[in-house]
Amino acid sequence: MSPMSHPLLSRIDKPADLRHLSRAELKQLAVELRDYLLQSVSRTGGHLSSNLGTVELTIALHHVFHTPEDRLVWDVGHQTYPHKILTGRRDRMGSLRQYGGMSGFPRRDESEYDTFGTAHSSTSISAALGMAIGAQLRGEARKAVAIIGDGAMTAGMAFEALNNAGVPHAGKMPELLVVLNDNDMSISPPVGALNRYLARLMSGRFYMSARESAKQMLSNVPPLFELAKKLEEHAKGMVVPGTIFEEFGFNYVGPIDGHDLDSLIPTLENLKQASGPQFLHVVTKKGYGYKLAEADPIAYHGPGKFDPAVGLQKPAPTDTPPKPTFTQVFGRWLCDMAAADPRLVAITPAMREGSGMVEFHQKFPGRYFDVGIAEQHAVTFAAGLACEGLKPVVAIYSTFLQRGYDQLIHDVAIQNLPVVFALDRAGIVGADGATHMGAFDIAYCRCIPNVSMLTPADEAETRQALSAAYAQNHPVAVRYPRGTGAGVPVPTDLNPMPWGQGEVRRQAAAAKPAGQRVAILAFGTLLYPALQAAEALDATVANMRFVKPLDVELVKQLAASNDLLVTVEEGCVQGGAGSAVAEALAAAGLAVPMLMLGLPDEFVEHGDPAKLLGLCGLDAAGIERTIRDRLAATA
C-alpha cells in the first residue's frame, strides 16, 4: 500500500515514533491504522474482528508505556496485528500466516516487542505477573501489562493468577496492570462522560493517596474501617462491576470506552504512576470501524481473502455440491445421534462454530453446554454427567485437550467413564502454526489405560468411527483433521465400524524379490497419499483405523508376508501409532524392519497445510521417496 494513503502511519517504524504525536495526530493514526489493517487482512486472510477492536487500545498502550522496556503481554494474541504494525513489522503484513512469513500471534523470536509467545487463552496475567516479580527481584523499575479479553476471563487460570497477584512478595506488591478488553457487552450509557471522569478520578494520585491515608487512619478503629470499606464498595458498585477484582487486591478502574483515546490515554498515564496491582476495564467492539464486521463479528473473526468494499461473499452455486468438512460431518452425526439417543449431551469449551455445533445448539439447546474457555472444567464436567448415566460428547480441538490432560487421566480414565472426545484439528492445521498443531494426541491418549483412539481415513469412516466410539462404555477419542477429505460419500445411518479392526485396502500385485516386499500401515487420512505411493511401489496398504485397540492380528499377518513395514501418521512419531505397531511386534517376538513416518521432532511452523505436509515428507511423493531410499539403503 502506498505511503500516500497512510501518511502518518508510514512514519511510524517503532512505538517511540508515536509518543511525540499530539492527541489529534493519534486519532488520525487510529483511522489510518484501521484502514491499513483492513486492507492487509483482506489480501492475506487472518483474524480481523478482534484486531479492528484493539486499534485505539494498542495505540494508547504504546503511547503511554515505554515498550519494550515496559512489558505488554497479550492474551491469546489474535488481536495483535495493530501491535505488530506499530512495532516495525508493517511491511511484513503481506506475509502474514504464510510459510516463512510473519506469525499471526506474538512470538518472542519475531520481535523484542513480543514479550511472551501465545495463542492459547488465559495465560497473560500469569506471564505478566512473572515478569513483574522478575523486575522486582532484579531491581528494575518497569511495568508489566496483561491485556486479556473477556472470554479469556472464563478460564480458571486467569483467576489463579489474579489470586496470586494480589498478595505481596517480600513485602512488596507487584507492579502489574491488567487490562480487561471487554468486547462482548455494548458501550452502555455509564461508559460516557461521567464514567470517563470517574475513571480518571479513581486512577489519579489524589484518590490513591487519600484512599491509602484513610486506610491507615481508620485501621486503628476497626468498626469505622469496615464501614468506610463498605461505603467505598457500595459507591463503586453503583457505577462499576469491579468489586470482585478489588477482593483480589487490585484497584479497579472503569469501565471506559476502549475506542476513546481521550479517555484511554489519561487513565493509562495515571495507572502507570500508581503502585501495586491495577485493573483497568475497557469496553471495545469487535469489528469496530468496519460496519460489516461490526454486524457479524463471528463471520469476520478469521476470514480468507475478500474485497473490503464488497465484504464476504457466498460461493457461487455449482452443479456439484461442495465436499463436507470433517467438522460438518461431526456436526451432522451429533444431531442424528442425539435424535436417536436422549442420553447424548454435547460440551464445547467456547468453540461452538469451530467445532460444528451450531445446528446442535439450535435443535437441542437443553443438551448443549458451552462452558467457556475452560478445558479442564469441560472434561471433568463431562465426567460428572457420565456418572449420572448420560453420554457426553466433548467436541474439542486436539491442541486444546492438552489443557485438560490431568482431568482426562484422573477424572475420566481412572473411573473408566464413557466420554467421547471428538478431536478436531488433528494433525497439521496450517496458518495458525505450532500452537494449534494437533501433533501429540495419538501419543498422549494411547498411553492412558482405558482410553481408546480411532483414526478414521475419510468422511464416511469419521461418521462410523464416532458411532463406534459412542457405543463403548469407556473413554474413546476420535481424531480428524481440519478441512475436507477424500470426498467419500457420508452414509446417513448410524452404523459403527467394526471395533478394533483394520482392513487391507491394497494388496501388492506381483511377487517381489527378497527384501523388496513392502506394507504401508496408514493411520487416518494419510491413507490416501499412502495408496498413491503404493501404486508406484506396488506395495500393500492397510487402513489401520484403530491406534488403540490396535489390530494386532492384522499387524502380525502383514509382518509375516512383508520385508518392510511402513507406518504413516499425521502426528508425532515419538510414542505415536508407529510406536504402537513396534510394541506389538516386540510383544509377539517378531523382528521385522520398520520405517515410521510422521511429523518430525520439532514444532511445525505456520503455512499452507499441503505445503507443510510435503515438507514433512507425508504427501504421496514424500512417502514414495522415503520408502525407495530405505529399500535402496538396505539392498
The catalytic site residues sit at 286, 375, 403
The amino acid that residue 380 corresponds to is T
Of the candidates 519, 527, 520, 579, the residue with the CA atom closest to the CA atom of residue 548: 579
Question: How buried is 629 (Cβ within 10 angstroms: 0-12 exposed, 13-18 middle, 19+ buried)?
Answer: exposed
Q: How many Cβ atoms are within 10 Å of 154's Cβ, its own excluded?
A: 19
**Cα 553 off chain centre by:** 39
Burial per residue of 359-392, b for 16 or more beta-carbon CB atoms within 10 angstroms, e otherwise: ebbeebeebbbbbbbbbbbbbbbbbebbeeebbb
Q: At what angle do helices 156-165 and 124-138 cross, to 10 degrees?
A: 20
Phi, psi of 356 (to 5 degrees): 75, 40
Q: How many Cβ atoms are within 10 Å of 21's Cβ, its own excluded?
A: 17
Of the candidates 479, 476, 440, 474, the residue with the CA atom closest to the CA atom of residue 462: 479
Helix runs in 341-486, H state only: 358-363, 375-387, 398-401, 405-407, 441-446, 459-470
* 8 Å CB contact between 72 and 143: no
CA distances to 290, 302, 403, 436, 583 from 297, in Å: 10, 9, 27, 22, 49
Sequence-distant (6+) residues with CB within 8 A of 134 are none
* 8 Å CB contact between 173 and 129: no
| Kind and range of the H or E run holding 30 | helix 23-44
- Whole-number Å distance between alpha carbons of 202 and 181: 19
Helix runs in 80-221, H state only: 81-84, 124-138, 156-165, 193-203, 205-218
- Whole-number Å distance between alpha carbons of 239 and 402: 40
- Whole-number Å distance between alpha carbons of 556 and 584: 8
* 8 Å CB contact between 594 and 559: no
DSSP letter at 89 equals I
Q: What is the DSSP code string of 306-351? A: -BTTTB--PPPP-SSPPPPBHHHHHHHHHHHHHHH-TTEEEEESS-
> Is the sign of the CA dihedral 160, 163, 164, 166 positive or negative?
positive
Longest dimension (CA), the chain: 96
The amino acid that residue 287 corresponds to is G
The amino acid that residue 127 corresponds to is A
CA distances to 137, 155, 178, 241, 293 from 125, in Å: 18, 12, 7, 19, 28
DSSP letter at 181 equals E
| Kind and range of the H or E run holding 557 | helix 552-561
